[in-house]
Amino acid sequence: MIYLVGSGPGDPGLFTVKGVRCMQEADVVVYDRLAPDPLLAHARPKAQKIYVGKKPGDHSMSQEDINTLLVELGRAGKTVIRLKGGDSYVFGRGGEEAQALARAGLPFEVVPGITSGIAAPTYAGIPVTHRGVSTSVTFVTGHEDPTKGESTVIWDHLANDAGTLVLYMGVGRLAEISARLISAGRSTETPVACIRWGTLPEQRTVTGTLEDIADKVAEANLSPPVITVIGDVVALRYEGLDWFERKPLFGRRVVVTRARTQAGELSKKLEALGAEVIEFPTIQVRPPEDFGPLDGAIRNLDSFDWIVFTSVNGVEAFAERLRRHGLDLRAVPRQAKIAAIGPATAERIQRVGLQVDTTPDEYKAEALIAALAGESLKGKRVLIPRAKVAREVLPEKLRAVGATVVVPPAYESVPADEGRETLQRRLLAGEIDCVTFTASSTVENFVLAFGGEEVGRLLSKTRIACIGPITAETARSHAIPVDAEAAEYTIPGLLKAVVDLLTAGNMSKKSR
């Protein structure tokens, strides 16, 4: 089966449920430049991915070759996704691909996608139709087939139509198109909006009139992909309908340094506020080299009076190891009390089915020690399943009050630097507004990835936000100036700190 799937306008959240299902079935994904990269994550791990390019003036593969490729893959018995930007049948040449498959006698399905001609104006605050303003919309290509000799677009008819005109791929010919519409009778004062990368955090909108839009676009150096909207509906943007561009972090670029398995929560919250998120996981979480100490603790669980969790990773690793031994949470002795370092860890503990007895008001080891101080720990046995390498403050303080503390490695946090060169380039270019650090280990590994001498130069044009004082102290120890610390040492607390930092006084990029 060959699926011709429209990937939507760019925002991965606008991809269809059926599109996701088809991606999960595919042996091969054939994709375009405008198909959002995050959608490729829906493909099976072993699926082959073939990039066929197709940007203006630079086609990695001709349309005829793409048609041939799809036929060859289909004849080889593969399940294929042809992933195309927007909708396959709206200026996407999907009809030609469908014809090639039909002529070859191959089965195919077409899965529509949200076309950018509707989505980009919507995200720019422009309804393409509106009661009392425009009751029709016309979609027109601004880049016709150069081999057909003459234009088949009847500009005279379009000029005399009072409805909305939406141009695809026309920004390179905007001056010519505007002149033709004006000469055919359209008013020079007709509102126009050009929207680049619509629905994405880097969306940019330039507005004007038919008379001056070409000059404004040239001045703004607006390059494809651009959707152009011509008509009175453009004025509605100024009545408060530009909801997307009003988001507090719209246009901001924020780096998330958490492990990829944990980055999702912070990344999603930042994106919901309009930010472009660049994930640079400085940590990879993996099992410890030796499970012996943890397995020994699990065999003797009934000997412990307290189990203390200092991270979500510790909770998940502990629960997973129980399952590996054919056990569940009933193995945890009833007399054992459970402590969590913070609300996120406590929530995960409760999610796996345990009751939390103690959570400190301040989410760090020192505060957890204080919270436990009210308990008589002398002679008590305390289990702390945690990372192989971590601060020793908590075990040492507990031992000092007479507790027997067992600290088996439940997981390891090892350095990672995926995407290092790309991030380095963007930091040096001053394209990043904020780098976030969620633990001392993310700071240490960031420094390790780039080198201590290079970090100061890399971060000189951006702002730094840390989840709390311990992480901030680690950053300063590497001569990294910290611009914001979360008042509450949680992901929501860090999110608030980032928003406050990047929206204070309509802040411009930092230059130290």
Q: Give the active site residue among 54, 84, 269, 380.
A: 54
User: Which residue of the set 11, 32, 87, 433 is catalytic?
Assistant: 32
List all residues 6 or more positions away from 160 whose beta carbon is below 8 Å from its beta carbon: 184, 185, 186
380 is catalytic: no
Distance (Å, whole) CA 337 – CA 355: 8
DSSP string over 4-36: EEE-BSS-GGGS-HHHHHHHHH-SEEEE-TTS-
User: The tokens of 109 are what?
Assistant: 């399905």
Alpha helix stretches (DSSP H) within 288-404: 292-299, 312-324, 343-352, 365-372, 393-400
From 169, 305, 397, 483, the catalytic residue: 169
Residue among 473, 472, 447 at smallest CA distance from 458: 447
Assigned token pair, 108: 């195919």
| Sign of the alpha-carbon dihedral angle for 80, 85, 88, 92 | negative
Amino acid 335 reads Q
Per the CB < 8 A criterion, the answer to whether 214 and 207 are in contact is: no
Which tokens in the block code for residue 200?
A: 């994405």
Q: And the tokens for 343? A: 């609300």
Range list of H helices, 17-154? 17-25, 63-75, 94-103, 116-123
> What is the edge-to-edge ordering of all strands in the sheet holding 404-406?
337-340, 306-309, 381-383, 404-406
Distance CA(203)–CA(123), nearest Å, equals: 9
CA dihedral 373, 374, 379, 383 (to 10 degrees): -60
Reported for 21-28, long-range contacts at CB under 8 A and 24+ positions apart, including other chains, are 22/81, 22/109, 22/111, 23/81, 23/83, 25/79, 26/79, 26/80, 26/81, 27/78, 27/79, 27/80, 28/73, 28/78, 28/79, 28/80, 28/81
Residue 32 is a catalytic residue: yes
- Does residue 507 carry a catalytic annotation? no
Q: How far apart are the two ends of the chain, measured CA to CA in Å?
A: 57
Strands 164-168 and 226-230: antiparallel
Backbone dihedral region for residue 390 (phi beyond 0: left; psi -120 to 50: alpha; all else: beta): beta
What is the set of active-site residues? 32, 54, 169
